[in-house]
Chains A and B, each alone.
Chain A
Amino acid sequence: KAGVTQTPRYLIKTRGQQVTLSCSPISGHRSVSWYQQTPGQGLQFLFEYFSETQRNKGNFPGRFSGRQFSNSRSEMNVSTLELGDSALYLCASSFKTSGRTDTQYFGPGTRLTVL
């Protein structure tokens, strides 16, 4: 079974621009979560989507948004990029059955550099 895939793998943008990252979960997985990883703050939760609905949101500004499509693929968008948005953005998928804790499997990430 193919793993979680993310595109693009690397991205360079300038301050003020906006960016869209894409994530395709493992086949059959319905929950997609996004995380930001930086050397200073570590891995931090951005948001989770399940059945096209945002179920959870982390403590990030409104410039960070996302969505999920009917095939469970997800995108996240960052508008008005700031230097501090430079990070590895990781997507994780899980099967997510009701009332159960499911393991999240991570994609390879998108390395975003903001100049």
Chain B
Amino acid sequence: GQNIDQPTEMTATEGAIVQINCTYQTSGFNGLFWYQQHAGEAPTFLSYNVLDGLEEKGRFSSFLSRSKGYSYLLLKELQMKDSASYLCATMIKAAGNKLTFGGGTRVLVKP
């Protein structure tokens, strides 16, 4: 299967930068997604990477290294509203639209 590992919890200060790492098995890899999920709410799409490199979208950036089976989500200029769980998910070619999720990283932003 697609074992996906990401840290359980991270704490950072408002205005700072936090990097959430995600590692996955590379066999059949067909794309990696990051979602944000606030407590009690649905996951919302943040980014998608399928090629190596950095994708920047405002305060959020996502990086992918296919050969290393590694991605990170970078959150800059942290705001209190960024306190949420961040979910790394992969898609593999043989599994159609199925997303396999990591356990999620809970980020707590402190004033």
Contact = CB atoms under 8 A, between A and B. Distances in A.
Interface string A94-105: 101000011111
Interface residues of B, number: 24
A48 B45 CA distance: 18
Given A42-B104, A43-B87, A104 B42 contact: no
A92 B96 CA distance: 14
B26 interface: no
A56 B96 contact: yes
A33 B97 contact: yes
A56 B97 contact: yes
A101 B101 contact: no
Given A43-B87, A90-B42, A109-B42, A104 B99 contact: yes
A63 interface: no
Interface residues of A, number: 25
Nearest to A107: B42
Interface in A70-115: 90, 92, 94, 96, 101-109
Interface of B: 30-31, 33, 35, 41-45, 48, 50, 87, 89, 91, 95-104
Interface of A: 31, 33, 35, 42-45, 48, 50, 55-56, 58, 90, 92, 94, 96, 101-109
